[in-house]
Structure 1
C-alpha cells in the first residue's frame, strides 16, 4: 500500500510538472508544490511555491496566495531555513488570520529560535483556532515546558502521541488504550491495587522518568513496568532489591485481569502534578552492580594513567532517521578540540548505531573504547561508575550518568529539548548536571572552547 501511494505521488508530480510547463499558473504551481512536499523534495517545493507567488502578484485571490505561502513555509521549515519560513507563515497569517496551522508552525519556529514567550502566545492562539488538532497542543506543551511552566503544560502534553509519525506519514491522534482503567494520580484505595506502567518513546525518556517508579511502588501493592530488555538488569539492581512489589516486563502483558489500572510512563509527572520546585530528584536513583564496577576499575587501572581524570564521552544520539539527530549529534571529524585535550583519560560511552558515528582510526588511539562489549545499560552503568566526569550530547547515557549522580556536562544543541528548559545551565531534573548550550545553531566549536576552558580550571 505504501509503495502504491509512493508510486502515485511520483506520477502526480510528473504530471503536474508537465502542466506547469504548458499552463503555468498559481493553481498549477500550488498543486505541484503539494506533490513535491509529499515526495520530500523540499527545495523544489519551495521553488514551485515561489513561482506560483510570482504569478499571483496583483491577483485578488488571498486564499490561493495564502496556500502558496503556507507551502513555501512548510518547505523552508523542513529544510531548516527558519528565518524565511517564519516570514512565509507571517504572510499566511496576514492573509488568513484564522489559519491555525500557520500560527502553530510559526510558534514552532519561534520555539526553535529561542523566542519562547512569543511562541507560547502564538501557540495558545493556534489551540483556540484548532482545538481539535492534537499536534497544536503538543507544540504548546513543549513551549510551556521549555519556559518552566510545567503545571500548565502537562494537560497539553497528554496529546504527545500526535507528534509520533510512522514512515507512511500516518500519525497517532490519541494515547494507546488498554482494557483497564487509566490511573489519573489519585491514591484512593490504591494500597490493594496493581498498577501497570507502560513505557514509551526513547530510552533517555525512560531513564529520566523511571524516577517516578518508587513513588508508585510506595502506594500500590504491585507495580509492573513494561520496558525494553536493555533496561531490565539496570532497573532490577537499582530498584528490585528494595522493592519486592516491582515486576518487569519486556512487552505489555496480556493478562490484563491481573492489573487494576495503568498509566503511561511520561504521564507520571502530570499525575503527580509536578512543578519545577517539586521535581523528584533523589539522586542517585540508578546504580551499578558492585562486582561489574570492580571489573572495570581493574581494567582502567591497567591503562597506566592514574593521575588523569577519567572522562566519559558520548558524541551522538541514536535514531539517525529523526530530523533532530543532525542537530544533536556531533560529526566525529569535529571532536578534535575535546579528545586532543591531553590531560584526561578519555573513555567512550558511545554505542554507535552506524559507521558514520564511529571514531576514525586515528581518533581511536586517543579514546578507550570498550562499548562493543556492552550488552545493556547495566554494563554501561558499571563503566560510568568508574568515571570522574561524563561529557555527552543529549542522549540516553547522559540521563544514565546523571541519574547515577555522576557529574555530567551536557552538550546541548541550540534551542534544545524541552526538558533542559530555556536559558539554563543547570537542570532541576539532575542536580549534578551542567548544560553547555550552543549560542549559534550548529556551532559546536564555540561549545568545545567553553568546555575545554572549564576542564583547564579543573586541573
Structure 2
C-alpha cells in the first residue's frame, strides 16, 4: 500500500502536467485519510494557488503551518498567496519566517523582491534581488528580474545586459539551428531570421525591428504564428514571412525581436520613429467603416479590459469591465467591444452591457488574427484598453489609444510619463495605488469629456 508521501508525489506529477483540479482531488483524498499531514495541506495550497483560488490557498497553508510550524516551504508559499491577495505586510512577514528557518532559501529571497517591485517599492525590490545574488550569483531568474527593473527605470544599457539571462530560464527556447545568434555586428548584406519570444503583443510591438534592420542593409525573414502572418505581412520591413516550425534555406544570423532591440542599442531616447507600421487592407477598412457608421453616437470608442489570465501579472494589469461604466454615460459616445475570448463573459455581468456594441462572433476568422479588429480600430475615434495586445495593435496602427496601467507596469511603459516613446498615438493613465482602477477611469472620463467639448479636437 503506498505511503502518504508516495500518493502526494503522484498528485504532484499530475499537477506539473497542468491538471490542477485532478491534483487537488488527489491531495484532498490524502487529507481525508491523513488530516494531520502538513505536507498534504501544503500541496493542496499549491494546487489552489495555481487555480487562483487564493483565499482557499491561504487557509490551506495556514493549516500546514499550524501542524508544523518549522516549514519554510509553506511559509514561503503563504507569502506568495498573501502577495496575490494584496496583503503586503503579511506577505513580507511570511517570507521573513521562511528565511529565519532557512536563511539561504532562495525562493523567499526572490519572492520578497517581487513583492516590493509589484507594490511600487522599486529600489527596495532591486536591493532584495541583489542580496539574493549573494546566495545564487548565477541564478538566471534573478538576473532577468534585475534586467526588468533597470529597463523599467529607463536604464536600458544595464537592463539589456541583465535581461539576456532570460534565455537560460525554462520556457525560453530558440530555434534549433546551427547559425549564430546575432551579436550586434554590422547587419549590412546579412540575412536574419527573426521571431517572437513572448506572445502576440510582443510580436506586434517588436516586429518593427525588422524595419530598422532592413534600413541598415539586412535581409529579414520573420517566423511567426500562422494566424499572425496576414497582419505582419503589412509590415514594410519584412522580406519573407514563414510560419513557426519552418526554417529558411539560408540565413546568417537569428535572434528574437527583443534581441534585435537589445543589440541595436535601443533605449527610451533612441526608439526608431517608424510611424504606423501595420495596417489592414483598404477594402477591409471600408467595410468596417460602413458598419461603424450605422451605430449611434458621434464618437465611437473601442474598449478592451482583459488580458491573458495565464500571465503572472494579469491580476494587476487587467481592468474589470465594471470600471468602464463611467465612459458609457458620456453623451454622444458609443462604446464598442474589442474584447475577444478571455473576459468576454463579463459582458453578461454588468448593468450597462446594453450600452456596449458587440462585434460579430466570426470576427478575425476569415481574414486572419487581428485583421478585422485592426480595420475596426482604424474607423474608431479612440481605443481605451488595459495593457493587452490590443494596446500594441492600436499603437502599431497609429490609432489614438489610451491605456490604463497598474501601479507598476510592464517595463516598456517605464515608471513615469503620460506618453510612450514606443507609440506616438498612445496616452498612458497610471494607477495612483494598487488596484485603484476607479481613479484611472475617472481621469479617462475627464479627458474624454474635455476633448468632446472641443469639437475640433479628436478624442
Report the TM range for the smaller structure's normalisation: 0.7 to 0.9
Q: Distance in 2 between matches of 1:439 and 1:252?
A: 44
Q: Distance in 1 between matches of 2:336 and 2:31?
A: 54
Change in CA separation of 1:14 and 1:352 when aligned onto 2, cut-off 3 Å: closer
Contact kept, 8 Å, 1:89 with 1:106, in 2: the verdict is yes
Gaps of at least 5 residues in structure 1 are: 22-27, 57-63, 164-170
Contact kept, 8 Å, 2:58 with 2:78, in 1: the verdict is no
Question: Alignment partner of 1:224: what SS?
Answer: strand
Change in CA separation of 1:79 and 1:456 when aligned onto 2, cut-off 3 Å: closer
Match of 1:132 in 2: 138
Match of 1:381 in 2: 374
Give the structure-2-normalised TM-score. Answer: 0.82
Q: CA deviation at 1:409?
A: 0.9
**1:260 aligned onto 2:252:** yes
Q: CA deviation at 1:4?
A: 5.6
**1:46 aligned onto 2:61:** yes
Match of 2:384 in 1: 391
Equivalences, count: 426
RMSD, aligned CA: 3.0
Q: CA deviation at 1:396?
A: 1.0
Q: CA deviation at 1:12?
A: 6.5
The one of 213, 218, 221 aligned to 1:216:
213
Change in CA separation of 1:129 and 1:372 when aligned onto 2, cut-off 3 Å: same
Change in CA separation of 1:385 and 1:272 when aligned onto 2, cut-off 3 Å: same
Q: CA deviation at 1:151?
A: 1.4
Q: CA deviation at 1:106?
A: 0.6
Is the deviation greater in 405-414 or in 70-79? Answer: 70-79
Match of 2:355 in 1: 366
Match of 1:269 in 2: 261
**1:457 aligned onto 2:436:** no
**1:416 aligned onto 2:431:** no
Question: Alignment partner of 2:125: what SS?
Answer: helix
Provide Cα deviations, 1:262-298, integer angstroms capped at 9, x if missing partner: 1112222211122221122422222232222222223
Match of 1:200 in 2: 197
Match of 2:292 in 1: 300
Is the deviation greater in 65-74 or in 336-345? Answer: 65-74
**1:311 aligned onto 2:301:** yes
The one of 442, 447, 450 aligned to 2:440:
447
Give the structure-1-normalised TM-score. Answer: 0.82
Q: CA deviation at 1:86?
A: 1.5
Q: CA deviation at 1:394?
A: 0.8
Gaps of at least 5 residues in structure 2 are: 1-9, 16-21, 50-56, 454-459
Q: Distance in 1 between matches of 2:278 and 2:137?
A: 40
Change in CA separation of 1:96 and 1:254 when aligned onto 2, cut-off 3 Å: same
Contact kept, 8 Å, 1:116 with 1:146, in 2: the verdict is no
Match of 1:153 in 2: 159
Q: Distance in 2 between matches of 1:272 and 1:199?
A: 16
Contact kept, 8 Å, 1:49 with 1:72, in 2: the verdict is no
Question: Alignment partner of 2:361: what SS?
Answer: helix
Provide Cα deviations, 1:10-53, integer angstroms capped at 9, x if missing partner: 656765786673xxxxxx64x34542344335223431354157
- Report matched runs for 1:108-127 at 5 Å: 108-127=114-133
**1:326 aligned onto 2:315:** yes
